[in-house]
A = this chain, B = another copy of it.
Amino acid sequence: MAGMEIKLEELKARLREVNDLNSAGAVLYWDQATYMPPGGAEARGRQMATLARIAQEKFTAPDVGRLIDDLLPYAGSLPPDSDDGCLIRAADREYRKAVRVPADFLAVFSEHSALSYQVWTEARPADDFRRVLPLLEKTLDLSRRLADFFPGYDHIADPLIDFSDYGMKAGTVRKVFGELKEQLVPLVRAAASREAADDSCLKGHFPKERQLAFGKTVIGTFGYDFARGRQDLTHHPFETRFSVGDVRITTRIDEGNFAYGFFSTTHESGHALYEQGVDPALEGTLLAEGTSSGVHESQSRTWENLVSRSLPFWEHFYPKLQKVFPDRLETVPLETFYRAVNRVEPSLIRTEADELTYNLHVMIRFELELRMLEGSLEVKDLPEAWNAAYLENLGIAPEDDADGCMQDVHWFGGHIGGAFQGYTLGNILSAQFFAEARKSLPEIHDDMRRGNFAGLHGWLRENIYRHGSKFTAPELIERVTGRGLDIGPYIRYLREKYGKLYGPGI
């Protein structure tokens, strides 16, 4: 197999080159969002497009395909979880997808997305849906054409969902979402019938520097390594990875509301713990990142919700937080604060929604995406359909499109289809993985009460993080939990938590 090893080294060198171009693009994006002066915008767009184009050209070069073809039998001869075998199979999967989409089409789509995003940033504050309408219609048309490069699908959204959540199809997701909704709606109704928790203790003046310092202390305790990352301020929070040794997060601080910056910090830290936990041996290959949108989101939601919205977490950290903001919190009891950060209330904005209603926001978007792609909903009718869906599912409707169908960037800066399901899949998986962790770590909540997260972090690193993308999401879920995606643990988690908060009947 000596010849195979030479070919494997050659493949790795080619993939490393693609990885380096993509990582450079990520640095340019991060800089654009954090420190770039306004004058840099025009050239920066061009530079990022150049890097993306060259990366695509290098990856889809025919000799890369030949290397992969030559190596596939060798991959089959290796143990199923060998790094090299997984790499060859992942390269094959990605290569076969990438070569189907012509570079010219990608360039057109990418240019259109940049324009659409730019217009959206102006049209949303102006509540001007008519201005984005023709662009969104073109996005839908291009999204359909993108899907059509992958014929043989059951539903036209399938190829688009597959990009972010490999192995998932519209039908599967619809079924899971349907089951989940059936369980969720009574919980939401029951909670809504009670008086909402008083969250006034989260409002007031929380100085930025102290918010940032407290957030850094918390995520440092989780295991986020500041020697291999950093936190900066951006308009929209995100996590980004330049290498296993450089995984950064950003946040936005609202001095008038403690919850916003804090939970976005623990959310992004969850994404980052995943990426920082990848085995360094995978660095520079396409396996050195999280495996799917849903699994990635499961980790951000684990650290944001299952950990940092839990009572044991606050039993440890609340006395510390009170010392940071004594004028705001000294006289507020733990119980009041805990209820405040878990206040349930149907609302209009997904990113600010509570745990119970959050998934309804996602399901609304997912269903609207499918209907637009199917052709059963015209783009011009989107605002009306959006508002109707909110009224039906959450009992309220937005007064304008800015806080309605224009609130999320996804459709305006990328494609329609596959953009949202990962959020709810992530919620489901977060509870499924956590339940599995508890089997090995029965004292997990006592540990949290003592401010010790090493057990949980270690378990996640060992079972999920270190593998990067070695396994597809379905393979990983099966490895970790011994079964497929299962909404049971999530429903049990919600019932237990919100039952205690809102009393019997939930």
- Any B CB within 8 A of the CB of A226: yes
Within the complex, the shortest CB–CB distance from A315 to chain B, in Å, comes to 32
Contact A20 B47 (CB under 8 A): yes
Looking at the complex, which one of B25, B41, B244, B245 makes contact with A41 (CB distance below 8 Å)? B245
Contact B51 A20 (CB under 8 A): yes
List, in ascending order, chain B residues with CB within 8 A of A20's CB.
46-47, 50-51
Contact A23 B39 (CB under 8 A): no
- Any B CB within 8 A of the CB of A381: no
Contact A21 B42 (CB under 8 A): no
Contact B38 A51 (CB under 8 A): no
- Any B CB within 8 A of the CB of A486: no
List, in ascending order, chain B residues with CB within 8 A of A36's CB.
246
- Any B CB within 8 A of the CB of A230: yes
Contact B50 A242 (CB under 8 A): no
Q: Give A360 to B379 CA distance when docked, in angstroms.
A: 72
- Complex interface residues of chain A between 50 and 95 (CB less than 8 A to chain B): 50-51, 54
Stretch at the interface among A27-35, A160-168, A433-441, A489-497: A27-35
List, in ascending order, chain B residues with CB within 8 A of A43's CB.
23, 242-246, 283-284
Within the complex, the shortest CB–CB distance from A225 to chain B, in Å, comes to 7
List, in ascending order, chain B residues with CB within 8 A of A41's CB.
245
- Any B CB within 8 A of the CB of A227: yes
List, in ascending order, chain B residues with CB within 8 A of A283's CB.
43
Query: Which of A31, A225, A284 counts the most B-chain CB atoms under 10 A from its CB?
Result: A31
Contact A17 B50 (CB under 8 A): yes
Within the complex, the shortest CB–CB distance from A16 to chain B, in Å, comes to 8
Q: Give A36 to B228 CA distance when docked, in angstroms.
A: 9
List, in ascending order, chain B residues with CB within 8 A of A248's CB.
37
Contact B24 A47 (CB under 8 A): yes
List, in ascending order, chain B residues with CB within 8 A of A40's CB.
228, 242-243, 245-246
- Given A27-B31, A38-B227, A39-B227, the answer on whether A44 and B284 have CB atoms closer than 8 Å is no
Q: Which residue of B lies closest to A38 (CB)?
A: B227
List, in ascending order, chain B residues with CB within 8 A of A54's CB.
17, 21, 54
Contact B27 A246 (CB under 8 A): no
- Any B CB within 8 A of the CB of A229: yes
Q: Which residue of B lies closest to A58 (CB)?
A: B54
Q: Give A228 to B37 CA distance when docked, in angstroms.
A: 6
Q: Which residue of B lies closest to A243 (CB)?
A: B43
Task: Give 1 or 0 for each of A217-247: 1 = CB within 8 Å of chain B CB.
Answer: 0000000011111101000000000111110
Q: Give A50 to B51 CA distance when docked, in angstroms.
A: 12
Within the complex, the shortest CB–CB distance from A85 to chain B, in Å, comes to 24
Contact B245 A39 (CB under 8 A): yes
Contact B24 A246 (CB under 8 A): no
Q: Give A31 to B20 CA distance when docked, in angstroms.
A: 15
- Given A43-B243, A44-B243, the answer on whether A230 and B35 have CB atoms closer than 8 Å is yes
Q: Give A161 to B38 CA distance when docked, in angstroms.
A: 37
Contact B284 A37 (CB under 8 A): no
List, in ascending order, chain B residues with CB within 8 A of A31's CB.
27, 31
Contact A23 B37 (CB under 8 A): no
Query: Which of A21, A39, A51 counts the most B-chain CB atoms under 10 A from its CB?
Result: A39
Within the complex, the shortest CB–CB distance from A101 to chain B, in Å, comes to 21
Within the complex, the shortest CB–CB distance from A465 to chain B, in Å, comes to 16
Task: Give 1 or 0 for each of A1-19: 1 = CB within 8 Å of chain B CB.
Answer: 0000000000000001100
Within the complex, the shortest CB–CB distance from A66 to chain B, in Å, comes to 20
Q: Which residue of B lies closest to A47 (CB)?
A: B20
List, in ascending order, chain B residues with CB within 8 A of A242's CB.
40, 43-44, 47
Within the complex, the shortest CB–CB distance from A15 to chain B, in Å, comes to 12
Looking at the complex, which one of B24, B35, B46, B244 makes contact with A28 (CB distance below 8 Å)? B24
Q: Which residue of B lies closest to A242 (CB)?
A: B40
10 A-B pairs closest in CB distance: A40-B246, A43-B243, A39-B228, A39-B245, A20-B50, A20-B47, A24-B24, A40-B245, A39-B227, A37-B230
Beyond known contacts A24-B25, A47-B243: 16 more, CB 8 A cutoff: A16-B46, A16-B50, A17-B50, A24-B27, A27-B27, A27-B28, A36-B246, A37-B228, A38-B227, A39-B228, A40-B243, A40-B246, A41-B245, A42-B243, A43-B244, A44-B246
